[in-house]
Structure 1
Amino acid sequence: MNSIIEKAKSTHDLSEFEILSLLQNDSINELLFKAADDIREKYLGNMVHLRGLIEFTNICKRNCMYCGLRRDNANLKRYRLTEEEIIDFAKKAVQYGYKTLVLQGGEDDYFTTEKMVSIIKKIKSLGVALTLSLGEKTFDQYKAFKNAGADRYLIRIETTDKKLYETMDPGMSFNERIQCLKDLDKLGYEVGSGILIGLPGQTLESIAKDILFFKEINADMIGIGPFIPNEDTPLKNAEGGTLTLALKVMAITRLLLPDINIPATTAMESLAPNGRIQALQAGANVVMPNVTEGEYRKLYALYPGKICTGDTPAHCRGCITGKITSIGRTISDGYGFRGNKNTNSHNSQKI
């Protein structure tokens, strides 16, 4: 096992069998986490990038089996922010010191291409890098968002097991999801993807394939989240994912893609009080505090037990800064593109 970890550290390349061996063996976890932490430090130093997260609508036309925002969840009070509210939260986030904002929402057709272009331009005028997480769109929509100034786009594959994907995401096409990733890459976005760990029917074999998929598409960002069952979904009685396996997948991903951005996800801290700190010490280099205010924080209910829903953005900023500095890391003052760069290296070579 040690030899596999050493190979990953030196070559950033493993076979599916080698990845599976690491996933199956928990006796090497500490070695694995330390190796990922070493590689993160070697390539990215001790800086942690903060992304201010604006959850601007919990209305979604999709019906994913695992998600609390699913269309058929009648128990969730729905909301959508006005353009003015979105810009107001963005301005406040800039005042708190955020250099990157993430605009995330359900697939809500109220927000037309024209509306989104207007919002993107106004946020970009604040001098920040902007990440979008809006789900599946057409090539032309992605192009319009890019031309308006968007820098990055997050679209999780959730699983590369086509059958499992189409079971978990009824009415959606795995091939279309892949096409979205290709379109975003072609348009010169920094592209983020990721998976849920612990979906019913998911195997370690399929997770090993997921990790190789990240390497194959040369993703710029990868988010790994443990699946936490939501009582308002068909998967309410499922077992869910573990923090340990999520951390292992994240650590292996860091070893294979040494310079990418990997967030310490909020869901990890929902499973353990220091989950994000554990993640930052196992390969992660990004944290995404919520900068949405008031009741909206509680209503973006992807899963139960979500942390910090009663906190203010100012409190979150101070709290996470304290946690990060307590482990000898520093808050980055840059825009945090891949490899700690301040500009998007894709822009020069693509459309």
Structure 2
Amino acid sequence: MTSKHKQIEDFDPNGVSCHDGIFGLPYDENTAELIIIPVPWEVTVSYSHGTAQGPEAVLNASFQVDFYQDDIHDAWKLGIHMLPISEQLYNKSNSYRILAGNYISWLESGAPKDSSERFAAVPDVINKACSIMNDWVYEQVKEFRAKGKMVALLGGDHSTPLGMIKALSEEFESFGILQIDAHADLRKAYENFEYSHASISYNALKFPQVSKLVQVGIRDYCQAEAVLAKENNRIQTFYDKDIKKELFEGKAWKVICDDIVEQLPEDIYITIDIDGFDPKLCPHTGTPVAGGFEMEQILYLMKQVVKSGKRIIGFDLVEIAPGPDGDEWDGNVGARILYRMANLYAASQGKLNLK
């Protein structure tokens, strides 16, 4: 077994890497301090598909990411390793996605009664399949947290982090969730799917350990979600239109970030749906929405979170989808967000020094 010291000694961060690990880094699950769990799953997506291929798209693009961070010395020495992408999970996602897609089409056609018997059992079948996926994620997170590893998740659609949130809720008595997203994801069993990608925030709030949900960039939501966000004192939503209004009227982005950070408790889980960004950065995501943020705006916010002394206890990056004909743009952007978030996560844990 090669030691981490030897891996660092033999690696040239300025050269061409011959390693096939994420970002071309030389680490394995024993020597890496951060384990990335890829979850190629998109069973309940309700618009465009492709996010199950997100982990592979990010992995393929990651080899073009340079390691240097001018505010984090030798960030690459942390040790990042992504587990193998589960072909079994990917194949199950594709299979159940067909079933769910046919059911969604039936709903969208008015749920004709002459087909009701055919589709009656579909929600239970899909809910069971998604529950099994959640349990798989939960077990993966528990295993590596027990080994003292930091853990991040790479989706897949936005339903995939629920098992991770469950695992962290058993480890931490109280923590907040910072959600970057175009959508509120507060729908209850959307399209009769309990574990829908549109229900992740609703489901996360079922854990009493989640003391606060701070949503940033929300711009596409239904009335029921707006009412829930207003009436639930655990939810603080920074709507995209309100943020833009403040920016247009001269409020500095730093001040807005300070307002967001102030709402967060000391321990934070961060969930980043790529559609929270401007669609030019993620044109092939499942449900793109006009508006959103530049990449550096969100990464600046994340740096302010760390500089405030808050502690990141985990994060996910979801809803990345490759474009047609091998277009790597979405994966390229996703890989850069993933690398920076990995380093900021480590900095908040005291494992890297942030200037």
TM-score normalized by structure 1? 0.37
Structure with the bigger percentage of helix: 2
Higher relative contact order (CA 8 A, sep 6+): 1
Higher alpha-carbon Rg: 2
